Amino acid sequence: MNYDMQAPLIGFNGDSIKKSETDDSPVTLGETLSMACVNASPQKYADGEAKLKVYRVLQKIGVKDIGEVELEAEEITLLKALVGDMYGVAVVGAVEDLLEQRH
């Protein structure tokens, strides 16, 4: 399935999630997924094969200003786990909505 990496994360209140209090630009799906990959737990993804899977997904989504990316079901499952490990409920929910195309 194709996913727009430039799609903004929409919070539980219906507004886009902002980068910071001083930067009003929205956080994008691609930024969030890329950060989750880069910060994958070395304990959880300990062996070379697991790290390589994360890296291959990062190669697909981590290009700045990329538009749509085709992701397989296994890649989506991995990304959801990585996001769940790194972020709080608001971001996890917003990412889930975009990955499940509930927007």
Range of the domain at 29: 2-99
Residue 62 backbone dihedrals phi, psi, to 5 degrees: -85, 5
In DSSP terms, which residues pair with 4 in a beta bridge? Answer: 68
Only one residue has tokens 């975009």, namely 98
Give me the number of domains the chain comprises. Answer: 1
Q: How far apart are CA 26 and CA 19, in angstroms?
A: 6
CA angle 65, 103, 97 (to 5 degrees): 80
Does the CA dihedral 65-95-2-41 come out positive or negative?
Answer: positive
pLDDT in tens, 55-94: 999 999 987 677 899 999 999 999 999 999 999 999 999 9
According to the model, what pLDDT value does residue 76 have?
A: 97
Does the CA dihedral 77-70-98-85 come out positive or negative?
Answer: positive
